[in-house]
Structure 1
Amino acid sequence: MNWIKRNIPNLFTLSNLTLGVLAIQQVILSNGGDEPKVHYYVFLAAFFDLLDGAVARALKVSSRLGVQLDSLADLITFGVLPTFIYASIFEMEGWGLLILLVPVCSAIRLAVFNISEDQKTSFKGISTTAHGLFASTLPIIIWTGDSYFGQSLAQMPYIAIIIAVFFSYLMVSPLRMISLKFEGLSLAKNWEKYALLIVSLLLVVFMGYDSAPWIMMLYLLLSIIINFRQPQNTME
């Protein structure tokens, strides 16, 4: 029974990995005419990614194995998968080879996080999960073609390279990014997190998937504000 209890969180982690592989298959087999479904897999994978740590803490079975499995699963779902998404928009040849920065920087980001001791209340660089969630919405945004962003990406696919390089840099940058780990329920200490969650929810309600770029811009803006308003040592 102890063995089963210890591995319950790992089951969620491996579910994350499995969904990532299935999502990659969806991208590879997509013919461009059918409605993309890759975002469904990634949203569910992100839920499992959130759940594995919470379950491990609740059951008091956190382990070094679980930490390593979590990073490996995240690399597949939120590092390798976005690479295939960008490559489905702009082929990986010529300038398109810059898309390969995504899995490279994702691996560096996850490795640094594993050995870092100053990312408990904020992230150093954007998380692979945040980037992966954003990237997973690109196919459905392009397919619906309801927004200026989606239409621009469809008509000028090289924008995918710019986005890939931009987020690759953010993943390994020293910029402090908001983490949704709350310090109690205080509004004063968590105002940026409450603002991000409330505004994001409203954007999703009114804009659906087209809200993804706006949510990401809000996330970056709030993080930049926090960097300027708070000394570095108070964010660690």
Structure 2
Amino acid sequence: MMIVMIRETHAVSPFRYALLDLMKAPGNELILAYGYLTDCITDDTDKTRLGYDFKRALNHSNMQNCTIYLIAGSFDYILKPATGSHQANFEKAYNKLKSYIKRNHPTITVAPISHVNKITANKIWHGKIALKKEKDVNAQIGTVSAALVGSSNLSANATQNSKVTKAVQSNCDIYLWDGNIHKSIFTSKGSSQDTKGISDILPLPLTINNSNQSLSNPLGMTFPARPLVPLKDIFEHLYSKVQIYC
């Protein structure tokens, strides 16, 4: 299944809810590969911050005995002296997460740090891919249960739910999951804590119009018909972009 999410309000980050949903999908590997990755994942200063929900998602049964891979690589751009470089911010995020998990989640492992731009000489990694998968020693990829691709980086601006923060970014993200093995909150809207705020998200699922063999969506736009790509092929393609670093 797939939804395309466009952020239309500062108060709700669809990317944030999709990331939390992905964490709760089946699998023993969580891959977070982003151009810019900050310590927003551990910042739980208040409920608007991603860290508030991220830390709670670590308690989910599908995160136990899981290995987390943090991958980032846009380190050539230097920020203001007060905030340091992107590489420094990424290493800060990595160390904070590793320390938190070591204290609170002994069954979860944070893999050794991965500086993508050091591995791919003269290339800058600016991918934005999150995957939840089951490692299979006999297969190249294993079983991917959910993937999140988009314009959002793993940063405070992209993940914070705030009505007042001017720096909030308007992004578009694509969330895909295997409905046979993962019951996503996007397919079962309810009143539980997990689904709080989901009603404010405008998903734009692409559908097949059998009458003229074209793709359409709720906004009324029509696209030329294209062969449907199996979800497994999409997952394998996304994993091929990050597997060398895991």
Q: TM-score, normalised by structure 1?
A: 0.27
Per chain length, whose mean CA-contact separation is higher, i.e. which structure has more relative contact order (CA < 8 Å, sep 6+)?
Answer: 2
Please state which structure has a larger fraction of its residues in strand.
Answer: 2
Please state which structure has a larger fraction of its residues in helix.
Answer: 1
